[in-house]
Structure 1
Amino acid sequence: MLTAEVAVYPLKTSKATNVISNSINTLQGNNVQYSVNSMNTEIKGNKAEIFSSLEAMFTEAENSGGEISMVVTISNASK
């Protein structure tokens, strides 16, 4: 199992909250566990699910917000 911490930062938009929310909402259709924190979202799942989820989040943010920055930390270490 992997854990990813991901933060989406919309650039050049006045609708950053909507872009971030739309990006996080893509996780509902994926087979991962996730929790939304004040600064990032933590995702847990297998390798394929994590990378698929990150791609879905990035694509949604890009489609709804244009330019974005996404910061991701991925770990396979047990907590």
Structure 2
Amino acid sequence: MISAEVSLYPQKTSRASEIIRDSLDAVADLDLDTKVGSISTQLTGTEEEIWSGLKILFDRAQKESEVSMVVTLSNSGS
């Protein structure tokens, strides 16, 4: 298991919160433990699930807006 702390920052849009919610909804079908915080989301799962989830998050967000995504990965089991 690994974890990723992810922050999405949609740019040049007034719909940032909606874009973030839509992006998180797009990974709901994956078997990830998801903890949504005020400025970041913690994802925990297998390596394959995490990498797939990160790609889905970014792909979904970039369809709606320019976006920056900041990710911290850990295998420490926290």
TM-score of the two chains, using structure 1 as the length reference: 0.94
> What aligned pairs does 1:1-79 form with structure 2 within 5 A after superposition?
1-64=1-64, 66-79=65-78
Whole-angstrom CA distance in 2 between matches of 1:29 and 1:62: 20
Unaligned runs of 5+ residues in structure 2 are none
Compute the displacement of 1:16 (Å): 0.6
Compute the displacement of 1:39 (Å): 1.0
Compute the displacement of 1:69 (Å): 0.2
Deviations 1:15-69 (A, max 9, x none): 11111111111121111111101110000001010000000000010112x2000
Percent identity between matched residues is 38
Whichever residue aligns with residue 68 of structure 2, its letter is: S
Whichever residue aligns with residue 7 of structure 1, its letter is: S
Which runs of 4 or more aligned residues in structure 1 lie more than 4 Å from their structure 2 counterparts after TM superposition?
A: none
Compute the displacement of 1:78 (Å): 2.3
How many residues end up aligned between the 2 structures? Answer: 78
TM-score of the two chains, using structure 2 as the length reference: 0.95
Whole-angstrom CA distance in 2 between matches of 1:63 and 1:46: 26
The RMSD of aligned alpha carbons is 0.8
Whole-angstrom CA distance in 2 between matches of 1:69 and 1:22: 15
Unaligned runs of 5+ residues in structure 1 are none
